[in-house]
Structure 1
Amino acid sequence: MFDEEDNDEGDGMFDAQFNSELQRFERMLQDHDEFYFDAEILEQIVEHFIVNNQLKKGLKAANFGNKQHPTNTLFDLRKAQIFSSTGQLKESLLILQNLEKKEPYNPEIFVTKASVFGQLRDHPKAIKYFEKAIEVAQEYNHLEELEEIRFDLAMEYESIHNFQKAIQVLEEILSENTENEAAIYEVAYCYERIGNFDKCIEYYTKYIDNNPYSFTAWYNLGNIYFLKNNIEKAIWAYDYSIIINGDFASAHFNLGNIYMQNEEYEKALISYQKCAELDDSDALTLSYLGEAYERLERYEEALSTYLTARELNPELAEPWLGTGIILEVQGEASQAINFLKQAVHLQPENANYRLVLAEALYKSERLTEAETELDRALQLDPTYSDAVLLLAKIKIEYSLDDALDFLLSIENFHEHSKDVRMLLIAIFWQLGQKTDALLLFKKEYLIDKGSAKTLFLYLPEAKNIPDFLKIIDIENE
C-alpha cells in the first residue's frame, strides 16, 4: 500500500521533483506558512511520512490535504490509517464509517476497518470486513489487491488459532499464484500447528526450492522432521541452516538436543558450546552445556557451568538439579539434597525432579521424606513407573504387606513398567502367595521373554526355583 517508488534510472527526474516538493512542504511547516500543492503530490507526501513512521507529520500533511482538496477522500483514509497505527481506534472508526458511505467500492476502506477491529480483538468483525474487502475487490475489479487482502484475512484466522480456515484462504492465494513465498511459508506453519507434518514438509520444501538460502526455513524443516522422529533428516536440515548462518543459535541448540537424545554427548557438547559463544548470558543454554559435561563425567566443568547458569538466573531450576545430581554422585549427599530441594521448589509440578530428590533421600536413609516426595510425584503423574517402583521399595523396608497393598491399589497396574510387575511377583512369592506369583509370571513371560532376567533382579533365588524354571523350559521346548 505504501511501498516506496523503485529508484530506476527512469525515475530520477520524478525523484528529484518529489524531493523538491517534499522540502517545500517541510519549509512551509517550519515557517508556519501556506503554499499550494497538487493533490497527487500531497498524497505522495502523506504516504512518504507514513512509510518513514513520521506519523505526526503525516497527519499534518493529511489535514492540509483535506483543507486544500476537500473532495479528495484519500486524505481521510490516510488519517484513519494513522489513527489506527497510533491506537486512536475510535477516531479511526468514525472516519471509516463516513468513508464507507461515500466510497462503498473502495476495498482499502474495509481492509483498514478490519485492521482496527483486529486491534480491538473483535475478530468476528475483523474477518467480516476482510471478507467484505475481498467481495468489493472482486466486484469492482481491484484484482491486484486481492492477494494481499486474502493474506491479511489468513493472518486474522491465525491470530484466533483457526488454522484450518487460514489454510483454506492461503491455498486460495496459491491456486492463483503458486510462487507467493509468504503464503507458502504461512501455510507450512499452519499445517505444523494442526499436526499435519507431511503437508508441512511439502510446503517448507517448496519454499526452500525458491529460497535455498533461507536458514529459518531449513531450521523449521528440521523442527518438523524432529517432531516426526526422523532424526537423520532433522540433523540434515539443521546442518544446512547452520551452513547458511553459522551464528543462528537456535539451530545449534536444537542440534545439541538431538545429539543428547542420541547419547552422542561429545557432539552435543560442541553444539552447546557454539550456542554459549553466541550468547553467554543465556542461562538455559549453559544448563544444557553443563549437562553435556555431566554426561561425559567432566564434573568440575559441569559444576562450573551450572554455577554460572545459577548466577545468571537463580530462578532457573535446571542448574540446581544438575548440581545436585553431580554432588550426589560425588558422595556429597547433604549438599546434593539441598540443591535438589531448591530445584523442586522452583519447579514444584515436575514429577521427575521429585523422583530425583526422593532417590537422594532414599540413599541417605531419609525414608519418610523420600516417601513424601514420591507421593507428590504420583499425584502429579499416576503413570510414573519409576516413582511407583521406588515407593514400593521404601514400603518393603517397613513391611512386605504394605508394599503389596500399595502395588495392588494402583489403577491400571498392567500399564506400568515390567520392573513394577516383576517386583510384585517377587513380593507375592516372599509372602507365600506362590500361585499368584507363578500365574502373573507365566502371563508376563508369554508376552516378553525378557521378563525372566528382570525377575531375577528382584528375586535372585528364582534362578533355582523349579516352578519358575518350569515356565521358562516349557517355552523353550
Structure 2
Amino acid sequence: MKFPFGDFSKFSISRFESMLKTNEIQYFDASEFEEIGQYYIDSANLSMAKKAIEVGLNQHPNATELILLLIEYYTLTNSYEEARILVDNLIAIEPFNPYAFQHLAVIQSKCNKHQEAIDSLKKGLMHTDNKYEFHALLAMEYLHLDSFFMAKEYFIRCLEEEVTDNHALYNIIYCFESLKDHDGAIAYMNEFLNRDPYNEVAWHQLGRQYLAKQMYEQAITSFDFAIICDETFIGAYLELGKALEQLGRFNEAINHYEITLGIDDPTAFALLRIGECHLKLKNHDLGIKFLKNAIHEDPLLDKSWLAICGYYMRSKSYEKVLQYSKKAVKIDSSHVIYWRLYAQANKALGFFEEANIAYEHLVNLGSYELQTWLDWVGVLLQLKDYNKGIEALQQGLEFHPENSSLNYMLAGFYMMEAKANEASFFLKNAYAINPNELDVLYETFPSSRTSVLVKDTLSIS
C-alpha cells in the first residue's frame, strides 16, 4: 500500500538513517518500517528501501505489510522468481489477502502472462473493498490482450467509482475507437455527461467522436461546451477550428486558432491551420507567413513543409518548391514525400542529375509506386542513361510485372541500346497486356513509329 508523502513521519526516517550511521539497533513499529520502505521506493532509492525492509523483517518477521513491500521491491528489481516464492507463501498463509493476489498479478503481467494476471486480480477483487484499484488493473491487463471490449467495461467501472478519473475516461474512448464504435462512444459520453455536465474532457471527447462521423454541427456544440467548462482548454479550441474548417467557416476557424496563441506559447499546429485557412481564403501572403512561422516553431512538423511545398507546386513555383523541399530533406532524410517533392522540383526545373539522385533515393526508401518508376526513367531518358534506365525498369517490373507502360518503356530503352531481342520480348509483353497503350512507346520514343522492329514484332503493316 502506498502512503502520500505528507503522511510519512520525517522523524521516523531521520531516526532510521541515524541508526544506520551509528549501527545502533532501534525499535520501530512494523507500520513505521512500511512507511519508511515505501518512502524510499517512491523516491527510487531501492537500496535504502531494501535495508529498511530487511531491518523491519528482522524485528517483525511475520508482518504481512513488510512481506508485501519486499515482494514489491523484488518486482521492481526484476527478481520475479524471488517475488513469486514470497507471494505464493503469503497466499498459502493468507488466502483472502487481496493485496497478495494483486502483487501476484503484477508479477504475472511482467512475465507477459496477462490471462493469469486477470485470473489473479479477479480472485483479489472478491476479497477487497477497494474495487477501483482492481478494476483499473484488470482494464490494463485486458488492454495488453487487445481485448478492448472487456477493457472498456472495467474502465467504465473505474469511472463509476471515481467520476473525476479522466485517465479512465480517455481509456474508455480509446477502447471505443479501437472497436470502431463511434456510436457507442457518443451514447456513452452523453450518458456520462448527464452525471457530470461540467466535465470539459468528456465534452471534448464527445466532439471528437462527432468529428469522426462528420457530424460537424454537433461537434462544434460539444467543443463550445468544453470551452465553457474551461476557457483555457487549448485542445477544444483546436478541434473546434477543425470542425469549422470542414464547414468552410475559415474566418471563424482562424479566430479560434488565434485564441490558443494567447493562452500559451504558439503551437506549430495552430500556426499551420491559420496559414492553411488564409490560403483557402485567397490571403496568400498571410497564408505563407503563417506557414513559415509554423516551420520556424517546429521544423519537425512535416505537415508545415508539405503545406508550403504543396502551395508552391500548385502555383508552379518550382524554385520555391526546390528551396523548401531541399531544407526539409536535410531535417528528415528518410521522409519519402520530401524526397518526392525534391525530385519533382528538380525535374521540372531541368536539373536532371539532381532529380536522378532524388528518385533513386526514393526507391531506396521503399517508394515502389508505379509513378516513381515512370518519373525516374523519364529523367534517365533525358540524361540518355539508357543502361541505368533498363536497370531501373527491370527493378520496377519486379513490383509491377503486369504494367504495360513499364514494359513499353523497357522495350524502348532496349531499342535505344540496339538490343533487338530484348526490345522485341518486352514489346510483345506490353502489347499482350494492353495494346491500347502503344502510344506510350510512340510518344516517348518517336523513332519507334517507323521502326521495322516494332512493325515486325507486332505484325503491323
Q: Is the structural similarity TM-score above 0.5?
A: yes
Q: C-alpha separation between the residues in 2 aligned to 1:154 and 1:53? A: 29
Flag the 1:52–1:92 CA change in 2: closer, same or farther, 3 A: closer
Flag the 1:91–1:377 CA change in 2: closer, same or farther, 3 A: closer
Letter in 1 for 2:264: N
Asked if 1:467 corresponds to 2:424, the answer is: no
Q: C-alpha separation between the residues in 1 aligned to 2:8 and 2:401? A: 80
Q: C-alpha separation between the residues in 2 aligned to 1:289 and 1:227? A: 23
* Deviation (angstroms), 1:309: 0.5
Asked if 1:411 corresponds to 2:363, the answer is: yes
Aligned identity (percent) is: 15
Q: C-alpha separation between the residues in 2 aligned to 1:74 and 1:167? A: 42
Asked if 1:171 corresponds to 2:119, the answer is: yes
> 2:217 aligns to what SS in structure 1?
helix
Paired residues for 1:106-121 under 5 Å:
106-114=63-71, 117=73
Asked if 1:395 corresponds to 2:367, the answer is: no
Aligned length: 383
Q: C-alpha separation between the residues in 2 aligned to 1:306 and 1:74? A: 62
> 2:198 aligns to what SS in structure 1?
coil
Q: C-alpha separation between the residues in 2 aligned to 1:381 and 1:234? A: 40
Q: Deviations over 1:91-120 (max 9, x none)?
A: 7755542342344333222223455x48xx
8 Å CA contact retained: 1:107, 1:136: no
Letter in 2 for 1:81: E
* Matched residue, 2:265: 314
Letter in 2 for 1:467: D
Q: Deviations over 1:179-234 (max 9, x none)?
A: 97443431321332x3x32x232243367589868766575333123134444444
* Matched residue, 2:247: 296
Letter in 1 for 2:77: H
User: Match for 1:205 among 150, 153, 176?
Assistant: 153
> 2:231 aligns to what SS in structure 1?
coil
Asked if 1:249 corresponds to 2:249, the answer is: no
* Matched residue, 2:422: none
8 Å CA contact retained: 1:238, 1:255: yes
User: Match for 2:228 among 277, 283, 292?
Assistant: 277
Flag the 1:55–1:400 CA change in 2: closer, same or farther, 3 A: closer
* Matched residue, 1:190: 141
Q: Deviations over 1:70-90 (max 9, x none)?
A: xxx995212223334555977
Q: C-alpha separation between the residues in 2 aligned to 1:246 and 1:376? A: 48
User: Match for 1:227 among 178, 182, 195?
Assistant: 178
Structure 1 unpaired stretches of 5+: 3-49, 64-72, 447-463, 471-477
Flag the 1:382–1:233 CA change in 2: closer, same or farther, 3 A: farther
8 Å CA contact retained: 1:294, 1:302: yes
Which TM-score applies when normalising by structure 2? 0.64
> 1:144 aligns to what SS in structure 2?
coil
* Deviation (angstroms), 1:320: 0.8
* Matched residue, 2:408: none
Asked if 1:134 corresponds to 2:82, the answer is: no
User: Match for 2:31 among 73, 78, 90?
Assistant: 78
Q: C-alpha separation between the residues in 1 aligned to 2:257 and 2:366? A: 39
Q: C-alpha separation between the residues in 2 aligned to 1:154 and 1:301? A: 51
* Matched residue, 1:452: none
8 Å CA contact retained: 1:106, 1:136: no
Q: C-alpha separation between the residues in 1 aligned to 2:29 and 2:240? A: 57
Measured on the aligned residues, the alpha-carbon RMSD in Å equals 4.9
* Matched residue, 2:445: none
Q: C-alpha separation between the residues in 2 aligned to 1:444 and 1:290? A: 44
Q: C-alpha separation between the residues in 2 aligned to 1:414 and 1:108? A: 56
Q: Deviations over 1:21-68 (max 9, x none)?
A: xxxxxxxxxxxxxxxxxxxxxxxxxxxxx89965559969x99xxxxx
Asked if 1:104 corresponds to 2:61, the answer is: yes
* Matched residue, 1:123: 77
* Matched residue, 2:414: none
Q: C-alpha separation between the residues in 2 aligned to 1:251 and 1:445? A: 54
* Matched residue, 2:278: 327
8 Å CA contact retained: 1:93, 1:113: yes
Letter in 1 for 2:200: A
Paired residues for 1:350-361 under 5 Å:
350-361=301-312
8 Å CA contact retained: 2:152, 2:176: no
Q: C-alpha separation between the residues in 1 aligned to 2:191 and 2:375? A: 48
